[in-house]
Every structure is written in structure tokens, then in C-alpha cells.
Structure 1
Amino acid sequence: MLPSADPGPHEFTVVQHNVSDENPAPYRVVRVVLGAEPDLIALEELTPSRLPAFRSALAATHPHHTTVGTVGLWSRYPLADSGAVDIRPRDADEGWERGLRTLVRSPHGEVVTYVAHLPSVRIRAAEGYATGWRDESARRLGRAVAAEPAHSRLLIVGDLNGTVDDRGRRPVTSLVHGERSRFAFSWPARLPLARIDHVLARGAVVTKTWTLPETGSDHRPVAARLRF
């Protein structure tokens, strides 16, 4: 995918990737995402069997990390106050955990960072597009973000299973902003048609967004540069 025009100096780079719970090649994922030289790496669909491989492969460059359920964040900088964020739809299983919050202590100041994986939109014979779970999860995430102090720098990174114009994601997208490059499509990986993986910010400007090569997942990684 073509990147947008070079926006000039930046202070922070973030990579977001749904690695796929069926992906047999975690080390390939790591090679690709490290090519963007990120400060933060957010991953979704982490499985217990492959999580140790990601921890080992990223330890040298991103020694600080936190995981909750199937989502995780790796950082060059220390993390604090890490914990789960409840974005589980009411009818989901008790073990459904796809949200975390942590505080990144970067050289540019503290950044409250959320990693989230919203439910997929399903197609059902009786209902057509079934967005109820996704929309409920977005509302829960939006409430958590809205409760943050207004002065705090904030990132939301994740597979949000919708584009920036999707009305079901407005509880989130009304609070943070991204960069609307036409070329940074992340899904499906072989012929990307939409960006459903996002890096969104408050108190910072996302100056550039682009996609990285395939990793064996059905999503492509999305990289973003930010300026505070």
C-alpha cells in the first residue's frame, strides 16, 4: 500500500496488527512490524501457545509489555497502571477479554493508551448485518475513554472492525482522531479494501498512516506516526 506524503518530523511511531489466532508464523509478524521502527506495538488475537514467541522475539527492542486476554502492547518505554478494560458485550462468554489500558511513560510525556479488539460484524440470514455486539463494545470503550481527564494525552489502538465513518464506532471516534489516508487499507490482507485497524489520538496529531507487508494474517499491519 502507498504511504501518504511525508508529513515531516515526528516524535512517535505506533504499529497496530491483528495477528490472527490461526497465524503459524509469529516471528514473521515480528520481522514485519519491526521494519517500521515503532515505539509501540499493539497486537490482537494473541493465543496462549504463541504469546511466548512474541514475548521472546520483542524482548530486546520492546522490553516493556502488558497483555489482557487476547490483546497486548509492547513498548520501548516503561508502562504503568496496566489493567483490563471491560468492553465485553453482555451475551459474550465470561472469558471474553479484548481491552486493556496502560500508561506509557515516553520521553515526550505520559500517554494513556488503550488497546481494543471490537467484535466482528456478522452476516446472519435473519438479521443481515449484525452489528449489535460491535456497537455495544464500542459504547463501553467510549465510556471508559470519556472518563479520562480532559488534559491527558491519549491513544486508542486496535482492530475496531469498522472504518472511521462507521456510525457504530462514533462513541469512540468522537473522542479521538486519526489520519484519513486513502491508501492505508488493512483488510482483507490479500486485497485490502478498508481500514478497520486504527491508531487514534487525543492531544497528539497522527501525521501519517500506512500499511506494512503481509504477515500470514488476514489483516495487514497499520503503522502511524504521531506528533505531540
Structure 2
Amino acid sequence: MSRLRGRWRSPGIWRRGLVPAVVAVLLALAFFWHARIPNAIGNLGSLWETFLPWGGLLVPVLFVWALLRRSATALAALVLPVVAWVGLFGGLVGGGSGAGGDVTVATHNVDAENLDPAGTVRSLAASGADVLALEEVSDARADAYEKGLRSAYPHHKLIGTVGLWSKYPMTDVREVDIEMGWPRALRATVHTPQGKLAVYAAHLPSVRVEFRSGFTAGQRDGSAQALGRAISHEKAGRVVLLGDLNGTMNDRALAPITSQMRSAQGAAGDGFGFSWPAAFPMARIDQIMVKGVEPESAWTLDAAGSDHLPIAASITL
């Protein structure tokens, strides 16, 4: 034991471990300035931002490396990525859910190949949501959702593969063009007991991680810009966006939307609220965003027959 203490007290502890120390500094910079990591090569920046919370797992790896090298320099450098990670995600770990709320909203990518739409309907109907958005509603299963949800949600509209179901009357329902060539977004005015609420439901294009081309997200990025423009022209003072955006709040590609709206999960959720993939959620690519209303709580629902988890939020108008 005395020999071990002697090694840690030797002057060399500040000279050893320069490599893990440099890696720790680079990790901190990747957290602090994630938006500056270039997308020129394989959309590397957006890929890093999609799984940004998981970058924290590198900290214990570097900690063990620093211990093995008996390096005080490396241990001191580890403070930087820890501070950066806590600054980004510490609020989510602490949780911010409150009680109450006037309206509960939910969204779910039900999966076009869903083998149990009836089970999905039962689960969603029992969620307590007042307004429900569904994405990836295939022609073959549209009737199952429309009939199954009719009693709980007397007002609904399905445009393309995206639908909106509501316990309250809806007017001014129309397609929102997100430049995909077929309908994947809609907008409606929901008449709640507390007043009008503009609700958008959207399903942005999928992204892929491929060996040769990297993180392919060009079509998703273009649709995000189109959706952002539509929301910027919205005249209603209270707006909610529900949908599968195939991107996280940290992803710069969603900036046309996130610059105008805030995440219900980020404002009032407990934990990260990862929604995909359902078997082992690693990213929150399904979003509830708000403007002009106050999120009170946000949560993830149990799996309901899809590769995505449903998410919900309670808001005060």
C-alpha cells in the first residue's frame, strides 16, 4: 500500500497520462461545441448530436485509463467533460415534472408493419391523451385505427400516413407541405375548453447510417426547413408540434423548428425520454414541442406494437 501511495505522490503523476488528458479535453470540446463539428463528411456533426447523451459513457472509460496510468493530469482534465455533460443534461437527470395541466397530448409512430393495431389502439386509448397524433398509418391498417379510436376520439383527420385524433372539435385542418411529394404533415385548430390550440402533426423523412455515405439525412433536413417555415407563419399564439421528427433536440438540422419552439420533455420531463428503438431506446427522435403554452409534465408510454415508444405531455394553456 505504501508503495502504491508512493507512486501517486511521485512527481511523475503530472507528466504521465498526457494522451488520456488530451482525449478528455477533446471530449469536453465535443460537448461544449457540438454544433461546430462539421457535417461536411458524412454528417458527422448531426450523428454525434443524435446520440450526444451517450457520450457521457466515455467519461468512466477515461477515468479508468487515468487510474491505470496513475496520472493526476488526466484525472484533472476529466473535470472538463463532466462539467460539459452536466451542463447539457443535468436538468434532465434531475427531472422537472409538475402536476396538473389543461390538455394532455401524445404522439406515436405506430409502424406501417404493425402486427397488432388493435392492441396499439387499446394502449393509446387508455393513455388519457386528449389529442393524439399518429404517424406511419398505412392504408392497410387505417381502418383499424379509425374504428378503434372513434369512441374515445370523436374528432379525427387522416392525411396521407399522418393522423390527428381529438376529444375536442377540430377546424381548419389542412395538409402542411414538407416537400416530400406526398402528405406527411398536417395542421389543425383544436377547440379545447381553455381556448384554441394550433396543433401540428408531422413525420419527417427517415435517416440512415451507412458505411460509405455516413449519416444520410439530406431529405430529413430539407423537410425540417419546410416545417420550420410553416410554423413561423403560424398566426395562432398557442402551438403544439407532435410527431416523429427523426432527430433529437440537439441536432442542428432541426434548428428551423427548435429555434422557435421548446421541448416539453426538456422543460418538464423526468429523464431523457428516449423513444427509439422501442426494444432498447437510445434516442428521443419523437418530439412534443410547444410555443405559447406551458409544459407541466412529459413522459414515455409503454411499448404499443411499434419500434417507437409513444410519448405524452401535459400542458397548461
TM-score, normalised to structure 1's length?
Answer: 0.92
Alignment-mate amino acid for residue 107 of structure 1: P
Question: Could you tell me how far apart the structure 2 residues matched to 1:183 and 1:140 are?
Answer: 27
Unaligned runs of 5+ in 1: none
Alignment-mate amino acid for residue 174 of structure 2: G
User: How do residues 1-228 of structure 1 correspond to structure 2 at under 5 angstroms?
Assistant: 4=95, 6-89=97-180, 94=181, 96-149=182-235, 152-178=237-263, 179-180=265-266, 181=269, 182-228=271-317
Question: Could you tell me how far apart the structure 2 residues matched to 1:17 and 1:204 are?
Answer: 21
Question: Could you tell me how far apart the structure 2 residues matched to 1:8 and 1:208 are?
Answer: 7
Question: Could you tell me how far apart the structure 1 residues matched to 2:125 and 2:119 are?
Answer: 10
Judge conservation of contact 2:178–2:184 (CA < 8 Å) in 1.
yes
CA RMSD of the aligned region, Å?
A: 1.7
**Offset at residue 6 of structure 1 (A):** 4.5
Alignment-mate amino acid for residue 188 of structure 2: T
**Offset at residue 183 of structure 1 (A):** 3.5
The structure with the greater share of residues assigned to helix is 2
**1 or 2 for the larger relative contact order (CA 8 Å, sep ≥6)?**
1
Post-superposition Cα deviations, 1:129-169, rounded to whole Å, max 9, x if no partner, equal 111101100000000000112x5211110000011111000
Post-superposition Cα deviations, 1:174-228, rounded to whole Å, max 9, x if no partner, equal 1111232324111000111111111111111122111111112100100111112
The structure with the greater share of residues assigned to strand is 1
Post-superposition Cα deviations, 1:106-131, rounded to whole Å, max 9, x if no partner, equal 11111111100001112234421111
Question: Could you tell me how far apart the structure 2 residues matched to 1:124 and 1:8 are?
Answer: 43
Question: Could you tell me how far apart the structure 2 residues matched to 1:35 and 1:5 are?
Answer: 24
Q: Which shifted more, 171-180 or 75-84?
A: 171-180
Count of residues paired in the alignment: 221
Question: Could you tell me how far apart the structure 1 residues matched to 2:283 and 2:209 are?
Answer: 17
Question: Could you tell me how far apart the structure 2 residues matched to 1:28 and 1:211 are?
Answer: 17
**Offset at residue 71 of structure 1 (A):** 0.2
**Offset at residue 25 of structure 1 (A):** 1.0
Q: Percent identity?
A: 43
Judge conservation of contact 2:191–2:197 (CA < 8 Å) in 1.
yes
Secondary structure of the residue aligned to 2:279 is: coil
Alignment-mate amino acid for residue 134 of structure 1: R
Judge conservation of contact 2:100–2:314 (CA < 8 Å) in 1.
no
Alignment-mate amino acid for residue 260 of structure 2: L
